[in-house]
Structure 1
Amino acid sequence: MQKNDDFDQGVCMPPAELPSEDNVLISSAHITTADAIPEQNVLIDNDIKNQEDDATSNTKQSLRERLVKDDIFRRKFILWIFLCMSSGILGWVIGQLGPSLLDLKEITNCRLEEASFFLTSVFIGYLMGTIVSGAIYQRMNPFLLIFLGITALGVTSAAIPWSSLYGVMISMHILKGFGFGVLDTAGNSVFISNFKHEKGIQSYLHAIHLMFAVGGFLSPIATAPFLMQDLSSTQMDENLNLTIYQNTSLLSTSSLPSILFIKNSTDFSKVQYALQTANYSNMTYNDDLHDRNNTEHIQRRSVLYKAYLISAGLCFMLAIPFLCMCFTNNKTYKEEKSKQMDKKAELPIRIKFSILFLMCLFLGIDNGMEDTFFGLFTTFVVVQLGWTKKTGSYITSLYWASFACGRLSAIFIGRRLKASKLLRYYVNVFLLAMIGLFVSTMFAFDIGIWIFFPVMGFTVSVFFPSIFIWTQDFLTVAGKVSSLLLVAASLGSMLNPILIGYLMDNNDSMWYAYITLADGIVMWIMVWVATYVSHYVKKYRVDIKVECTEIQENSS
């Protein structure tokens, strides 16, 4: 009995082109006569089948030959290039938030806990964008959705540095997240619908995610020169000496210890507080100093807009090709027809829900943890270890570089290892690196941090795409299933940063290390639980194979 709903369709024999632990069972999967494709539908879908046959027959052809001879593949390949670029833009825009978080905090004059809500706002918007995009996806041109998502990223990138009001800053980050969610959902759906019959779909998918890492690597480097410079103790001493010299005749002797008390401070509020212990007649000079410092502060702060304008320009340039595709590339989108070819044996509902729960929970924890790496790690090393913001920005870039290398390695390793095995190997190394980073931060061992943090970036890079591919072994990753995975990921991204920011602001910054270590341990456990479920599904399918064979023998 055929079901039209994507989630209820269930299943989960992977397509022939996606390697899985159960490929040997695909050829013998039983489809009843009632579910057989009618002859007229076979005739209607000849073009889709020809594409699948071409994908198989062309595996021995070079990429160049396919681009020259196959017009359909050539259009899809061009689309894939622009999807890679859009993924790179996403990485660029998201990677920019972490290094600039402290500057955005200064722009809005808020506390760290409140500033950490900028990250949460992005993923509140992402959740909204994912839901809205999924709801209207079948009613709109998917390339128009991608165009609108990229445009929203560009508009918000241009506006954020000028949003000095906290409420406006929150609104801009929600709108940015909304564009992120629309672009991510529509982009993934377009990719799956066009490449689901390509034998090298895993390599194409890892390449798209690689570009996200490349964008995240380059963004902090490009942003670092525009960050507000830290005020050194030497500059502060010169400021204080000049103030004392100019106001010697008005300062009482009893006020001098108060000034000397804040000699090494870089917080101007402490300077102002100390000067208030002087004679009341000196308050006029103190106010003048405060005004001059505020003017210098605004001049340093305003430089950040240049980095965000670069992001806006990149977004607007990339939006143009997708706007053109709205009118020229509709024929490559054949999701409705290709759905009829995804006839797979159905799993029991309890197994489907168990798998979906595990995968959604894993993605929620993974995304929440990854987002704290690029969003709060710079703040963590500045506050906990006393690093400069520029140094924190550089180690964030190193994390993104290793993240990109991990994605690059997965393009080649994924051809030899199944997604489940690749994930198990990488999550083991990730947990060891996480423990090493935790110990290094506990004992302020800087070299250990520079070693283990990039290793974590390398291993965590394969988690998100591997989960999608592994889920495809059990459930059809399209429609409701794909939306649920992305919603779970966005929920994790919403909750984890604000929780860690609250604990860092009200307790101790080491809570960042405590929470992320706990996340890593839970993810490691879940991978092995999913492995157990995978073995159970394999046994179940073997039983189904035997049963189907007996039915075929009896019917013959």
Structure 2
Amino acid sequence: MESRGSQAKAVGQRLLQTGTPGKNGLQAVSRGQVGRALRWFSTAVLNAAFLGMGVSAAVLGPTLPDLAKNVNRNISSLSEIFVGRALGYLCGSVVGGALFDCMNHFLLLGLSNLVTSAGLYVTPFCRTAGLLTAMMSVTGVSFGVLDTGGNVLILNLWGDKGAPHMQALHFSFALGAFLAPLLAKLAWGTTASTQNHTESGFDRSALNRSSEATSDSLFAVPEDVTLLWTYASIGTYVLVVSVFLFAPFFKQSSKQKKSMASAQEARKAKYHWALLCLLFLFFFFYVGAEVTYGSFIFSFATTHVGMEESEAAGLNSVFWGTFAACRGLAIFFATLLQPGTMIVLSSVGSLVSSFFLVLFDKSPLCLWIATSVYGASLAATFPSGISWIEQYTSLSGKSAAFILIGAALGLMATPALSGILQGHYPDLPIILYTCLGSAVFTTALFPVMYKLATLPLGGKQKKSIKSESQKFLPSSSGLQGRK
């Protein structure tokens, strides 16, 4: 009897012991579900933030005549606001990269969105060119912080599965840039005429009355109320998104940060900074060519090819339309193709299309076809480049800031230099030469980057990196829930 009693007692203890892991398993599953939900929520909010950044950045173009009227200036003499915003973006990338490694990610991005919202609210009230340039610089800083932090954070959230989400992030920005003119021109009915783009089109008396009425004030309510509502609506959207960005801040812990930092250290390549320098150059030429072609294709089509202005405007729309559409399609292609494969396909498409643009620079038909192919080829390059380098070495805030500075410098330097050369040699298609040269350079540079990235990764090191990533990344249950 005692032996049976002791056996029954032992069986009961074993049953109790097996019941405890069951509870732990349910708790782990519950934590995993919460982690997945938080990760998807964070991704959705980041996409909403990039959508707002796209709208905020692109709305300046269609509202520029009204802003110029506010400050009693001509558009031709107000170019410093673009320089101010570009310099602000550079500063924001540097500051954001430094802060991203030492403070909570969502807190930083939420604060940057608050700054953007404040800048949008104040912009229509600016009555001097200096103050308007200062506001553009402030919003440029917040753009730089959000762009740097958003790219790194999406990789931290999804790891090796981040390629489609990176494409979606940049598609959100392109979608916002596409919606901005519609919001400014249709939703709120901004009545700025194309005649406002020239000095002769301004109403001198109206400008003089506005100048006299507000000569001693820095801020004043704009005469065009639709301008106010346009910026106020976008600012409100950005403000709401900033509130949602603060939500994940309360779910993170120092343990998650330590785990992520350890994982990043384990995945740092031997030639980490050499790869970053090459990617710096890659993005410098890629972004420079993209902005140069998009900025000058209208004037090139009218002066060099002889198109009507309506046709040239349609050509410009085709370029940016195919660019945005293929960025959306790249979300699905990224689930099937590796980032390196997408970069190769994009580089070949850019090289072929720019070659035909140079070869048949006087042909309208070739210009239409090659422009659409060129816009489609450029679409996936930037997000694929960030996803590609993450496969070989982890990106910290400072690393992301470094390569984004390359993109920002290309954005400023290449269009400016191309425009100057085109003015000195009006009979030559300098814009097309710039695009072809950039395509040749990026196509030749990527194999060098690939060779350098794979050179130190022997079989043992690959296994070590994979084991370290599996060890650390799943530990952050708040953001790294099981897929």
Same fold (TM over 0.5): yes
* 1:123-202 matches, cutoff 5 A: 123-160=86-123, 165-196=128-159, 200-202=161-163
What per-residue deviation string (whole Å, max 9, x for no partner) do you get for residues 469-505 of structure 1? Answer: 2212332112332221222222222322333344456
What per-residue deviation string (whole Å, max 9, x for no partner) do you get for residues 423-474 of structure 1? Answer: 111110112222334456x42x444333322322211111111111221233
1:401 aligns with 2:321: yes
Quick one: distance in 2 between partners of 1:204 and 1:344? 23
* 1:61-76 matches, cutoff 5 A: 70-76=33-39
Label 1:477 to 1:157 Cα distance change in 2 as closer, same or farther (>3 A). same
* 1:98-497 matches, cutoff 5 A: 98=61, 108-109=73-74, 111=76, 117-160=80-123, 165-196=128-159, 200-223=161-184, 226=190, 228-230=192-194, 268=200, 291=204, 306=226, 309-326=229-246, 329-332=249-252, 334-342=256-264, 344=266, 347-348=269-270, 351-378=271-298, 380-381=300-301, 395-439=315-359, 442-443=361-362, 445-497=363-415
Q: Which secondary structure does the structure 1 equivalent of 2:336 belong to?
A: coil
Q: Which residues of structure 2 form unaligned runs of 5+?
A: 1-24, 212-221, 465-483
Quick one: distance in 2 between partners of 1:103 and 1:393? 21
Quick one: distance in 2 between partners of 1:229 and 1:297? 19
Q: Is the 8 A contact 1:108 1:163 kept in 2?
A: no
2:233 maps to amino acid? G
Q: Is the 8 A contact 2:348 2:443 kept in 1?
A: yes
Label 1:328 to 1:217 Cα distance change in 2 as closer, same or farther (>3 A). closer
1:496 maps to amino acid? T
Quick one: distance in 2 between partners of 1:404 and 1:188? 18
Partner of 1:518: 437
Deviates most, 459-468 or 200-209: 200-209
CA displacement at 1:195 relative to structure 2: 2.6
Q: Which residues of structure 1 form unaligned runs of 5+?
A: 1-49, 55-65, 233-265, 270-288, 548-556
What per-residue deviation string (whole Å, max 9, x for no partner) do you get for residues 28-63 of structure 1? Answer: xxxxxxxxxxxxxxxxxxxxxx9xx98xxxxxxxxx
2:193 maps to amino acid? Q
1:456 maps to amino acid? Y
CA displacement at 1:376 relative to structure 2: 4.7
Label 1:77 to 1:388 Cα distance change in 2 as closer, same or farther (>3 A). farther
Partner of 1:60: none
CA displacement at 1:84 relative to structure 2: 0.7
Quick one: distance in 2 between partners of 1:307 and 1:457? 31
Give the TM-score normalised by structure 2: 0.72
Give the TM-score normalised by structure 1: 0.64
Q: Which secondary structure does the structure 2 equivalent of 1:477 belong to?
A: coil
Label 1:391 to 1:546 Cα distance change in 2 as closer, same or farther (>3 A). closer
Quick one: distance in 2 between partners of 1:160 and 1:392? 31
Partner of 1:62: none
Partner of 2:480: none
Quick one: distance in 1 between partners of 2:296 and 2:224? 18
1:209 maps to amino acid? H
Partner of 2:468: none
Partner of 1:529: 448
What per-residue deviation string (whole Å, max 9, x for no partner) do you get for residues 357-384 of structure 1? Answer: 2111111222233333444545555666
Quick one: distance in 1 between partners of 2:326 and 2:64? 26
Q: How many residues align?
A: 420
Q: Is the 8 A contact 2:339 2:387 kept in 1?
A: yes
Quick one: distance in 1 between partners of 2:148 and 2:387? 16
Label 1:438 to 1:94 Cα distance change in 2 as closer, same or farther (>3 A). farther
Q: Is the 8 A contact 1:126 1:179 kept in 2?
A: yes
Partner of 1:96: 59
Percent identity, please: 21
Quick one: distance in 1 between partners of 2:180 and 2:376? 18
CA displacement at 1:109 relative to structure 2: 2.1
Q: Is the 8 A contact 2:46 2:169 kept in 1?
A: yes
2:416 maps to amino acid? I
Quick one: distance in 2 between partners of 1:101 and 1:517? 31
Label 1:376 to 1:535 Cα distance change in 2 as closer, same or farther (>3 A). same
Quick one: distance in 2 between partners of 1:100 and 1:388? 24
Deviates most, 417-426 or 507-516: 507-516
Label 1:329 to 1:201 Cα distance change in 2 as closer, same or farther (>3 A). same
Quick one: distance in 2 between partners of 1:508 and 1:305? 41
Quick one: distance in 2 between partners of 1:310 and 1:187? 25
CA displacement at 1:331 relative to structure 2: 1.6
CA displacement at 1:193 relative to structure 2: 3.0
CA displacement at 1:149 relative to structure 2: 2.3
What per-residue deviation string (whole Å, max 9, x for no partner) do you get for residues 152-211 of structure 1? Answer: 333444555665644344323222211111222232333333333xx6322222111121
Label 1:305 to 1:212 Cα distance change in 2 as closer, same or farther (>3 A). farther
1:87 aligns with 2:50: yes
What per-residue deviation string (whole Å, max 9, x for no partner) do you get for residues 203-259 of structure 1? Answer: 222111121121122223444564743459xxxxxxxxxxxxxxxxxxxxxxxxxxx
